Amino acid sequence: MNDLTGIDLTEITIEVNGVNLSALKSISGNKHKILCIHGWLDNAASFRPLLPLVQDAEIIAIDLPGHGHSDHQASIYSLATQAHTVLATADALGWDNFSVIGHSLGGCIAPFATVASPARIESLVLIEALGPRSEPPESLPDRLSQFHYDMQRPDKYKSRLFDSVDQAIESRLRVNKMSEDSARLIIERQLKQVEHNGRTKWQWRFDSNLRIASPSYFTEDQVQSVLNAIDCPTLCILANDGYLTDRAETVQRLSCIKKISHVSLPGHHHLHLDSPQPAADEINKFLMACIR
Are residues 129 and 222 both part of a single domain? Answer: yes
Is residue 1 assigned to a domain?
Answer: no
Number of separate domains in the chain: 2
Single out the residue in 152, 179, 210 at which a domain terminates.
210
pTM of the model: 0.94
Q: Which residues of 120-148 are buried (b: 16+ CB within 10 A; e: fewer)?
A: bbbbbbbbbbbbbebbeeeeeeeeeeebe
Q: What is the pLDDT along the chain (292 residues), one digit of tens a residue?
A: 334 444 568 999 999 989 999 999 999 988 999 999 999 999 999 999 999 999 999 999 999 999 999 999 988 899 999 999 999 999 999 999 999 999 999 999 999 999 999 999 999 999 999 999 999 999 999 999 999 999 998 788 888 899 999 999 999 999 899 999 999 999 999 999 998 888 999 999 999 999 998 999 999 999 999 999 999 999 999 999 999 988 989 999 999 999 999 999 999 999 999 999 999 999 999 999 986 5
Single out the residue in 176, 210, 244 at which a domain terminates.
210
* The dihedral formed by the CA atoms of 13, 16, 18 and 19, expressed in degrees to the nearest 10: -60
| Nearest residue to 32 via CA among 121, 115, 102, 118 | 121
Are residues 73 and 130 both part of a single domain? Answer: yes
- Its domain, for residue 243, covers 10-134+218-290
Is residue 190 assigned to a domain?
Answer: yes
**Residue count of the chain:** 292
| CATH code for the domain in which residue 46 is found | 3.40.50.1820
**Is the Cβ–Cβ distance between 205 and 190 less than 8 Å?**
yes
